[in-house]
Amino acid sequence: MTTRHSGIGMTSQRTRMRMVERLRGEGIRDEVVLAVMGEVPRHLFVDEALASRAYEDISLPLGFGQTISSPYIVARMTELARAGSTLNKVLEIGTGCGYQTAVLSRLAKEVYSIERLAPLLAKARRNLRDVRVTNARLRHGDGILGMQEVAPFDVIVMAAAATHVPETLLGQLNMGGRMVLPLSSNNEQRLCIIERTPQGYVEKKMDPVKFVPLLPGTA
Ligand code: SAH
């Protein structure tokens, strides 16, 4: 463990448990997801200067104009993605600091995560190593392309807002699999779930949200 594991004050287990209670109050129902949120040390994924605010229900800056999603959003997306089932392969688009990757890694056998910004990916790699996540594979690339060679996935989680559902990604879903993503239209974003059923893709619009935009290419 590194010196960043202070385990005191605002970054303690007790603070994390208070966060879990708040998430429960806000409507997160999946106890498995809540347990994982209580385990993953979120403060280790943000800059040290922000660590004391890591468990508040806010998104925080990651640098490079990107943000780590709030605990509620991570829990909500994970709950929708899991849908009460055990997951085999999960694809995440927008690794950011790797926090949601760490959460997903405790709920799935394998997690694959794509990030377009190289310096952020390097940060995520360090963070995930520090918290000893060993079942996540990170890739520098454009998430819109997915990972055809690893597909199909039980779940695809996208942490950046798209204006339309990327077709390539839908094709990489398992039958019965789900994609959870923020979709924007008319200056409004909503969380969406798209399920692949034998009858076709079924889309459901959920909560209003605020994500950074999905951008093409790498940097
Ligand atoms: N789940 C992340 C949230 C990061 S914010 C966390 O917990 O930290 C969204 C991320 O998506 C940003 O890091 C951004 O660089 C990335 N992103 C945006 N467009 C992308 C694309 N086309 N492919 C891969 N990553 C992308």
Q: Give per-residue pLDDT as tens, 152-195.
A: 999 999 999 999 999 999 999 999 999 999 999 988 999 999 99
Q: Which residues contact 152 (CB under 8 A, 6 or more apart)?
A: 89, 172, 173, 174, 175, 177
pLDDT band at 9 (very low <50, low <70, confident <90, very high): low
Q: Please choose from 44, 58, 62, 95 the residue to mutate so as to test ligand 1's pocket, defined by most ligand atoms within 8 A of CB.
A: 95
Q: Residue of the nearest CA to atom 11 in ligand 1?
A: 94
**pLDDT at residue 145 greater than cutoff 60:** yes
Average pLDDT over residues 63-72: 95
Cα–Cα distance measured from residue 210 to residue 190, given in angstroms and rounded to the nearest whole number = 8
Q: Using CA atoms, how far apart are residues 106 and 124, in angstroms rounded to an integer?
A: 16
pLDDT(112) > 50: yes
pLDDT of 8 strictly over 80: no
What is the CB < 6 Å shell around ligand 1?
Answer: 62, 66-69, 93-94, 96-97, 99-100, 114-117, 120, 142-144, 159-160, 212, 214-215
| 182 in Cβ contact with 158 (< 8 Å) | yes
With 60 as the cut, is the pLDDT of residue 201 above it? yes
The string of DSSP codes covering 36-70 is: HHHHS-GGGGS-GGGGGGTTSSS-EEEETTEEEPP
Query: For residue 1, what pLDDT is reported?
Result: 43
CA 139 vs CA 65, 81, 109, 114, 157: distances in Å:
20, 21, 17, 5, 15
Longest dimension (CA), the chain: 52
Q: How far is the CA of 32 from the centre of ligand 1 (A)?
A: 25
* Percentage of the chain exceeding pLDDT 70: 95
pLDDT (tens digit per residue) in 27-58? 999 999 999 999 999 999 999 999 999 999 99
| pTM, 2 dp | 0.95
Residue 2: per-residue pLDDT: 45
**Mean of all residue pLDDT scores within the chain:** 94
Average of per-residue pLDDT across 91-114: 98
| Ligand 1 pocket mutation pick from 45, 189, 212, 218 by most atoms within 8 angstroms of CB | 212
Proportion of the chain above pLDDT 90, given as a percent: 93
Q: What would the DSSP string read from start to end of 198-211? A: TTEEEEEEEEE---
Note the pLDDT of residue 16.
Answer: 95
Report how far residue 85's alpha carbon sits from residue 83's, in angstroms, rounded to the nearest whole number: 6
d(CA 151, CA 171): 9
Nearest atom, ligand 1, residue 64 CA: 15
Which residue numbers are catalytic? 69
d(CA 2, CA 63): 22
Q: Is the pLDDT of residue 3 over 90?
A: no
Q: What are the φ and ψ backbone dihedral angles of 203, each rounded to 5 degrees?
A: -105, 135
